[in-house]
Structure 1
Amino acid sequence: MSEVKSSNEDFQAVTPSKATRRDFLQASLAIAGTAAVSSVATTPPAVAQTKQKRPNLVFFFGEGQRADALSIAGHPILKTPNHDRIGREGVRFTNAFCTNALCAPARATALTGMYSRSTGALDNTKGRIPLASDIPLFTEILQKEGYEVAILGKVHTRNGVEERNWDYYFGHNNPSNDYANPLFKEGRRGKVGPQKQYEAVYPDDLTTDRAISWIDEDRGDKPFCVLIWFVAPHEPFFRPRRHADLYNGTPIAKPVTFDDDLKGYPGKPKSFVAAENKLGTTSSHVACGSLEGVAKDYYAGLVAVDENIGRVLDHLEKKKILDDTAILHSSDHGYFLGEWRLFDKRLMHEPSIRVPFQVRYPKRIPSGTVREEMVLDTDIAPTLLDLAGVPIPAHMQGKSILPLTKKNDPEFRKEWYYEYYEWPNPEKVAPHRGIRTEQYKLIQYVLDPTEGELYDLKKDPGERNNLYGASQFTALQSHLTERLNALRAEIPERKEASQS
């Protein structure tokens, strides 16, 4: 593998002209103070830890876990005591979002702290093409600071990042894997072996087994960073045997917009209506035949995830290193569970883009902290570096959330940019981009510039009353369009041509 660079050296083809890496970083810094790039990107971590033992890091990443799919968030059915422990004993954010609601690009963002537009990892269609080697993963930065790093589970990003120098790799690059007889690749010190199939074992159970074993390895005084990325509850939503009958007889409430299709999807544009991610009417997604079936299987999968999170927390506690370990939990994107009769993600509506985001580390984070500021998946990598006491590189486009654990900051992020690229795709979800502020959301559909959606989220959190094109909101729509275009222009673009 070529050397990973984190200084202002040449960065190939990130803008329409053949810009250098220096140009790329300068372009990134040019938007300091806006929602796109952290205004504290070059600021040292809030609490320097170079003179004391750095914490171990555990990063639990969910698969399609909605922000409300936690009992700590008030879910009426799902019980997640181990997830809840992280938030209850640390900080929990009630307004956390992904910037591209699709597996592979979201995972690239988590690893790099950069938007899809800048990583070039736009969609799920180029799984064999690696992330550009001149974009460092936050784990590689940690390695240079003395950490041992591992990734396990559903990696599913460009080439599974298998070419990077992991101390331990036990992952797969498949969207859903084989739940009954899962497939994994395994490797050490940057060398990953061939794919192997494991019989009659639930993939997340096996991932957790291997993670615990790796945590137990003798590494002297070196801290570790382990990424445990679950595949459940991805379609086809298989359950572990122990939960085969979970939720039998439990009623599933129908979302208020479930029957909007029968009314002609009032207020929704053609691009929204034409999408085929509809429960019960898609031959390519046979597991999504009914609301009740999908919801119960989805919840059962998350119960299994919760059990595996509990296994790791219990193990760290038995080793007496739990409080010496910073734990971050989030998810790649949310999930529709019957809103507008939809399943899956992709669209910029709230069930699809809202994710959990919580961090436990009692040495720096007061327990029971709840914050309402808008945080993004671009903030994951900077936060983990900050927890480790490692300076945050200027090219990262998010910012550490740790200052928010001490006090509220109304100016932390006032607006942010979203873009979904994949086309064509199995659900015929049209490419779109948008801006979300604390009160408003504007969505523009790329294939038909005349179409859009505009919502006042304070008055209409369910996004039912589309204000787009209404004469009384012309000024607001124009302002949001200007801000959307400005944010998009400020995010450096890596051209697809450089990725082939």
Structure 2
Amino acid sequence: MPQSTEPNRREFLQGSLALAGTILASSRQGEAETPSKPAKQPNLIFFFGEGQRADALSLAGNPILKTPHHDRLGREGMRFTNAFCTNALCAPARAVAMTGMYSKSTGAYANEDAGTPLPEDIPLFTDILRAAGYEVGIVGKTHLRNGAEDRYWDYYFGHNAPSNNYYNPTYKEGRRGKIGPEKRYKNVWADDLAVQRGLNWLDEDRGDKPFCLLIWFMAPHAPFYRPRRYLDLYRDTVIPKPATFDDDLKDYPGKARCFAAAENKIGTTVMVDTPRSLEEITKDYYAALVGVDDLIGEVLAYLERRKLLDDTAILHGSDHGYFLGEWRLFDKRLMHEPSIRVPLMIRYPKRIKAGTVRNEMVLDTDLAPTLLDLAGIEKPANMQGKSVLPLAEKADPAFRTEWYYEYFEWPNPEATPPCRGVRTERYKLIHYTRDPQEYEMYDLQNDPNEVNNLYGQPQYQDLQKELWERLERLSAAVPERKRSA
């Protein structure tokens, strides 16, 4: 079998970070000079969902979930039908979103090292915005290495953990670069509190400075609670069973043995956070997202009251997708479509025509460059993604024809195997990297549900060889930063 040729022999190319590091150093000191910029930069709001699948929107055709405020962003802006994450796990995905770089290049491989900051020579896009004159704030789930507490925030109200106590949450609060101790808040829904603190900060006088506020939701992360106002929602709703839900009874035909052995299975995995039935997880997941939709509506209403809505560019995405019973799975991590597909919508009428829909493949590495582009700021050379804003002008079939996926965490709570892979517009190759190495390959055009594994079949040997070559080339093009000791 082909072996991995990850470029471990290469040192990370520090020279490409020199300019970005200079910007970051200035931002840390709070004394950065403001570069030339447009006469009026937009305010920025970055909504980041937690495990929100691409189809977890009524605008995307979900027959059960109703998300009118999410949908408004898509109707009044640009929506992508093929948006993906490059590492389907909370903390690594958030590092990708903040840096525009692959996990392999930042060293933020997994949910480990919660107390370790990202390397100082890698700027967050918020560092760059602040150096350009923005005030920057973040509220909600700041699960990103050390919660990005070492970076300068004009306002910070965050918790650095996979989840929080939904009804009695803990947060750290900070202003002007200083963050206080963790505090517990009683009898309040975690996301409601975070959004309210964010809106309170927006109310403060900042003169003519633009703001960038990151609103990063915790719901619907496990344990699968829902807001009190929605405890009765979906009581009489029938949840359809995915076509592959019972594939375990057939010993997972065509799937790698490490896939079959993983413990991310609804109903039989015994852990504190795991779902006991398809109905339980799906209804709680949807109800929590209705709560998130309420909060997006509150932010939009606030911006309208302040007459700021059309002067504010709003981006909505998610850290990763989520399995809701496909192959009887829950959670994420794997490279199959429910896990890697995410929503992405951008509303900014001054640059984006309402109702724009694009089918190009876009990635979470593109988020930071796009937010900088909205602000009129050129991305630093180290960022591996690219702005998606040119797609607001016209479709571009050549925007991205292939991309690289990576997932590293091992061991992990559900024994989900580490993997890497390549996805093209039509095909996918998955390489499970532990011994024994295993493989899956799919024709997504003819097999969108990924049930017919083509790997090793004689008639697909040429395709298999081509995908391997593409995978190795894409992997080698991503510089590697060594893991921390």
Contact 2:199 2:299 in 1 (8 A): yes
Structure 2 distance, partners of 1:350, 1:51, is 39
Structure 1 distance, partners of 2:8, 2:239, is 48
- The match for 1:377 is 364
- The match for 2:25 is none
Deviations 1:416-471 (A, max 9, x none): 00010000000001111000000000000101364100000000000000001101
Residue 392 to residue 19, structure 1, CA distance change in 2 (3 Å): closer
Pick the aligned partner of 2:14 from 21, 25, 35: 21
- The match for 2:474 is 487
Residue 19 to residue 366, structure 1, CA distance change in 2 (3 Å): closer
- The match for 1:159 is 146
Structure 2 distance, partners of 1:286, 1:311, is 29
Structure 2 distance, partners of 1:56, 1:49, is 17
- The match for 1:84 is 71
- The match for 1:230 is 217
Give 4+ residue runs of structure 1 displaced > 2 Å after superposition: 14-20, 23-26, 48-52
Structure 1 distance, partners of 2:380, 2:15, is 13
Q: What amino acid does structure 2 have at the position aligned with 1:224?
A: F
Pick the aligned partner of 1:412 from 381, 399, 411: 399
| Aligned positions of 1:340-355 closer than 5 A | 340-355=327-342
Structure 1 distance, partners of 2:221, 2:51, is 7
Shift of 1:52: 2.2
2:320 counterpart of 1:327: no
Contact 1:64 1:234 in 2 (8 A): yes
Q: What amino acid does structure 2 have at the position aligned with 1:250?
A: T
Q: What amino acid does structure 2 have at the position aligned with 1:334?
A: G
Q: What amino acid does structure 2 have at the position aligned with 1:254?
A: K
% identical aligned pairs: 67
Structure 1 distance, partners of 2:37, 2:250, is 61
Pick the aligned partner of 1:467 from 454, 464, 469: 454
Shift of 1:51: 3.6
Structure 2 distance, partners of 1:195, 1:471, is 58
2:86 counterpart of 1:96: no
Pick the aligned partner of 1:313 from 300, 320, 338: 300
Residue 286 to residue 397, structure 1, CA distance change in 2 (3 Å): closer
Deviations 1:122-172 (A, max 9, x none): 001221111111100000000010000001100101100101001111000
Structure 2 distance, partners of 1:25, 1:469, is 45
Shift of 1:180: 1.6
Between 348-357 and 127-136, report the one with greater CA deviation: 127-136
Shift of 1:177: 0.5
Structure 1 distance, partners of 2:99, 2:15, is 17
2:359 counterpart of 1:365: no
Residue 418 to residue 177, structure 1, CA distance change in 2 (3 Å): same
TM normalised by structure 1 equals 0.91
Shift of 1:50: 2.9
Pick the aligned partner of 1:477 from 464, 471, 480: 464
Q: What amino acid does structure 1 have at the position aligned with 2:97?
A: A
Deviations 1:163-219 (A, max 9, x none): 100111100011110112001001112211110000000000001100111111100
How many residues are matched? Answer: 464
Provide the secondary structure at the position in 2 that maps to 1:362: coil
Structure 1 distance, partners of 2:183, 2:228, is 22
- The match for 1:424 is 411
Contact 2:168 2:184 in 1 (8 A): yes
Provide the secondary structure at the position in 2 that maps to 1:126: coil
Structure 2 distance, partners of 1:436, 1:58, is 30
- The match for 2:429 is 442
- The match for 2:24 is none
Contact 1:152 1:171 in 2 (8 A): yes
| Aligned positions of 1:382-397 closer than 5 A | 382-397=369-384
Q: What amino acid does structure 2 have at the position aligned with 1:66?
A: R
Residue 285 to residue 454, structure 1, CA distance change in 2 (3 Å): farther
Structure 1 distance, partners of 2:106, 2:255, is 31
Structure 1 distance, partners of 2:78, 2:377, is 20
Contact 2:17 2:381 in 1 (8 A): no
Contact 2:74 2:346 in 1 (8 A): yes
Contact 1:146 1:223 in 2 (8 A): yes
Residue 404 to residue 25, structure 1, CA distance change in 2 (3 Å): farther
Structure 1 distance, partners of 2:278, 2:441, is 27
Contact 2:12 2:479 in 1 (8 A): no
Structure 2 distance, partners of 1:431, 1:342, is 16
Residue 115 to residue 204, structure 1, CA distance change in 2 (3 Å): same
Residue 191 to residue 123, structure 1, CA distance change in 2 (3 Å): same
| Aligned positions of 1:45-124 closer than 5 A | 50-124=37-111
Give 5+ residue unaligned stretches, structure 1.
Answer: 1-13, 27-47
Structure 2 distance, partners of 1:342, 1:412, is 32
Structure 1 distance, partners of 2:422, 2:272, is 30
Residue 23 to residue 84, structure 1, CA distance change in 2 (3 Å): closer
| Aligned positions of 1:179-328 closer than 5 A | 179-328=166-315
- The match for 1:5 is none
Q: What amino acid does structure 1 have at the position aligned with 2:163?
A: S
Contact 1:63 1:333 in 2 (8 A): yes
Contact 2:114 2:144 in 1 (8 A): yes
TM normalised by structure 2 equals 0.94
Structure 1 distance, partners of 2:12, 2:274, is 46
Contact 1:295 1:337 in 2 (8 A): yes
